[in-house]
Amino acid sequence: MKKYAKRFFALLLSLILATVTFRTSVFSKNVSVPCIDILIKPEAFQKMLLESNKGTEYPVSLTVDNISLPASVRTRGNSSYREGLITPAKRLPYEIIFEKNMNIGEIKNVSSLKLNNSFSLYRLIAEYTALKIYEHMGVPVSETEPVFISFNSVDYGLYLGIEDVDKTFIQKRFGADALQYGNLYKSVDITESTVIDENYFSTSFFGTLQFKCGNRDHKTLKAFLTAVETGGDFIQYLDIDKVIRFFACTAASGGTDTLLSTVHNVFLYENKGKISFIPWDLSLAFDCFDDNQSILPDDQFSTTNDFFDILMETDEYKEKYCAYIEEIRETFLNPDISTAFINDFLKSVGPFYSKDHSMIFDKKVTTDNITSGNSLVDGNILLAISETYRQLGEQITGEADHFYTPKNLYESVYSLYHEEDLFAYNGADFLNKIKNNYWKAHLFSSDGTMIIVCSFAVLLVFMFLSHGKSKGRRRKRR
């Protein structure tokens, strides 16, 4: 008995220490918002917008917090680019390529910076939070911070600056000689214009992998893919602890467009025979409540990636995965901690958000609902994080099979914003989806059921009275 008591108190103490360390190492950092003015010739700027699908680089002069430096800029992205085109302000994603490695605020030693065009304040906070979860858990991940950009000294908007995953990224995290001993691959979308050559590797579990940089010795990758496909010993090729941490972070950040449920938005880096996973594009973090997404393989809600399912067949890995999720819950998603973090974040970005001219949703409605109200996604970020915290716990203990929208939290962004803004945000399919979810929730809530019953009762009374009148008219005719 004493032995178990000692273990319990040791575990409790370690959790307290981890929480305290976490508070001081991640959440105590002040969020900086660098201001980047992109000085570009007006005719070049217009051409970049008109031919934005080409992603052509244009030379520019940057002013970053009053420091000038040469660089180039281009449009970028897939779905975020297409969605940006239909926004009223043409809020496109950009990439800044520096002539030499630079420090941008708290993002140190980067060769290029991705500017993610978060369409709402909710999305910006959600993606930033998700990236910080990976960072906290020791998974190789891009550094990030919000940035305010302007073109030719005209305020444009609050973006999320994200370090690119490239040679500089790899060398910063794995050593100056890392590319001599390994290779970086990215899961990419294949289009009709893609020229498939020896730099592409088709897989069942990670989509199509494209070689990005390294020593071009692909033996480890090929052996790993063959082992996965044929049921061989693929674990020998993995940095298994980092891979499990990767999936735990992916699950805990509640994304719907990640390797947990799809085959893309991931980099694979192989170093001296061991492969790590690096996350990419977390713009749909904390978006899991409408899609029945599960954090564990499940027969009824089979939404998880097949590779992840195979990994979870080993009890040791499954236990470790659940333990890491629990650690994230208590040191990152815990409402007391996350509320303080989000409020501090909002204080930092608030003045810049008020100057944003290209985000879609009404600023007053957004400000009023970002930390209050009953809208889970694209509304109250604190509510989304606390619900993620609660529902992760339910799935680990077996009380629930998947994420879901609680009946008492059926308020939707459909009730907050104009339909034209929602269409501009993500197109007709998105608008129809949230409209249908909104009416389903209202019609089948207790209030909605009462409306249906009352309406049915009124219809019956109307039919009864109409029937009675028609009988009376028939009697008179007789």
The mean of the pLDDT values for the chain is: 83
43 three-class SS: helix
pLDDT lower than 50: segments of the chain: 1-25, 27-28, 301, 444-447, 475-478
Q: Please report which helix (H) or strand (E) contains residue 98, including its range.
A: strand 94-104
pLDDT reported for residue 321:
96
Report the alpha-carbon distance of residue 57 to residue 192 in Å, rounded: 22
* pLDDT tens digits, one per residue of 121-179: 999 999 999 999 999 999 999 999 999 999 999 999 999 999 999 999 999 999 999 99
Return phi, psi of residue 178, to 5°.
-60, -35
> Which is it for strands 58-64 and 154-163: parallel, antiparallel or unpaired?
unpaired
Task: Look up residue 129 and give its two tokens.
Answer: 């939070």
Report the alpha-carbon distance of residue 425 to residue 431 in Å, rounded: 9
Q: Give the helix ranges, DSSP H, for 284-380.
A: 306-311, 315-328, 335-353, 363-369
DSSP state of 372: S
Place of tokens 């071009």: 216
pLDDT reported for residue 255:
87
Estimate the crossing angle of helix 315-328 against helix 381-397, to 10 degrees. 150
DSSP state of 282: -
CA angle, 403 then 404 then 406, to 5°: 135
Contact present, 39 and 64 (Cβ < 8 Å): no
Estimate the crossing angle of helix 419-443 against helix 446-477, to 10 degrees. 80
Contact present, 61 and 96 (Cβ < 8 Å): no
Report the alpha-carbon distance of residue 402 to residue 399 in Å, rounded: 9
Portion of the chain with pLDDT greater than 70, in percent:
75
Dihedral of alpha carbons 421, 425, 427, 428, sign: negative
pLDDT reported for residue 303:
59
Strand order, beta sheet including 274-279: 200-202, 208-214, 182-188, 266-271, 274-279
Contact present, 130 and 336 (Cβ < 8 Å): no
Q: How far is CA 252 from CA 48, 185, 362, 370, 401, in A?
A: 38, 24, 29, 20, 15
pTM score of the predicted model: 0.84
* pLDDT tens digits, one per residue of 426-473: 556 655 665 666 555 555 444 455 555 555 566 676 666 665 555 555
Report the alpha-carbon distance of residue 422 to residue 434 in Å, rounded: 9
pLDDT reported for residue 191:
80
pLDDT reported for residue 416:
63
Report the alpha-carbon distance of residue 418 to residue 335 in Å, rounded: 30
Residue 269's closest CA among 202, 163, 178, 144? 178
pLDDT reported for residue 358:
85
Report the alpha-carbon distance of residue 303 to residue 262 in Å, rounded: 8
pLDDT reported for residue 293:
83
Q: Please report which helix (H) or strand (E) contains residue 21, including its range.
A: helix 2-22
Return phi, psi of residue 106, to 5°.
-85, -5
> Which is it for strands 154-163 and 107-116: parallel, antiparallel or unpaired?
antiparallel
What residues does 200 pair with on adjacent strands? 210
Burial 267-283 (b: 16+ CB within 10 A, else e): bbbbbeebbbbbbbbbb
Report the alpha-carbon distance of residue 326 to residue 328 in Å, rounded: 5
